[in-house]
């Protein structure tokens, strides 16, 4: 899992200034559309699919194996 994450993110530590940029690149950040009084929250369809898959597997593994994570 770690080699895939490092390969997709790269070695440049200044590439993403905030965690929001990394979440948007991975496709895990919610996308909010607002117009007037209506508001919709969707997921991103344009993303780095390999990174999104690696993050999903990482989160699923953490949730199923870590008692502290499940309690939170």
**What pLDDT does 46 receive?**
82
Let me know: does 32 contact 39? Beta carbons within 8 Å: yes
CA distances from 36 to 10, 39, 40, 41, 70 (A): 40, 8, 11, 14, 38
To the question of pTM greater than 0.85 for the whole model, the response is no
Let me know: does 32 contact 40? Beta carbons within 8 Å: yes
Q: What is the pLDDT of residues 10-69, one digit of tens each?
A: 888 888 889 888 888 888 888 888 998 999 998 878 888 898 888 888 888 888 888 888
Query: Where are the chain's structural domains?
Result: 2-71
Let me know: does 48 contact 23? Beta carbons within 8 Å: no
């Amino acid at each position: 899992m770690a080699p895939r994450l490092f390969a997709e993110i790269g070695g440049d530590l200044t590439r993403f200034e905030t965690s929001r940029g990394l979440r948007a690149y991975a496709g895990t950040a919610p996308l909010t559309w607002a117009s007037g009084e209506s508001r919709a929250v969707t997921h991103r369809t344009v993303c780095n699919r390999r990174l999104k898959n690696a993050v999903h597997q990482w989160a699923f593994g953490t949730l199923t194996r870590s008692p502290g994570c499940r309690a939170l």
